[in-house]
């Protein structure tokens, strides 16, 4: 399956006094990669919202292997693992060069923006994700 990735430098504000990245920042990095994935699939977040839908996270998992530190150049990548009419799951990798630092996943459900009620995603929007993965 295709993936999307984004590279960035770890900022001081993302670290503790020892220069180690705080664990909550990995979820932010997952979002950076997921946002890139959606944009490359032809369905950027603003367009999803403009069409009246939101992707709500229902589960997030992270497995830490090594710490990222202030000044490191990080690559956050995302790939779509599963998709259905009502939801999807993304998998992530956080790397420093060839070194794997963290893996994770997030599950999402589709909701209507105005009511926040779960819904099915229209086929033409779902196809944007599935067509990218062919």
Residues taking part in catalysis: 16
Smallest CA-to-CA distance from 20 within 63, 65, 67 is with 67
Cα(79)–Cα(90) distance, rounded to whole angstroms?
6
Cα(36)–Cα(23) distance, rounded to whole angstroms?
21
- The residues facing 59 across adjacent strands are 107
């Amino acid at each position: 399956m295709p993936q999307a990735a984004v590279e960035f430098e770890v900022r001081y504000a993302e670290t503790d006094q020892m220069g180690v990245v705080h664990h909550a920042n990995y979820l932010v990095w997952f979002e950076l990669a997921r946002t890139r994935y959606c944009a490359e699939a032809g369905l950027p977040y603003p367009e999803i919202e403009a069409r009246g839908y939101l992707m709500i996270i229902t589960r997030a998992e992270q497995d830490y292997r090594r710490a990222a530190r202030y000044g490191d150049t990080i690559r956050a990548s995302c790939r779509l693992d599963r998709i259905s009419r009502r939801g999807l799951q993304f998998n992530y990798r956080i790397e420093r060069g060839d070194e794997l630092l963290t893996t994770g996943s997030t599950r999402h459900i589709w909701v209507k923006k105005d009511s926040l009620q779960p819904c099915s995603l229209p086929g033409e929007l779902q196809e944007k994700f599935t067509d990218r993965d062919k």
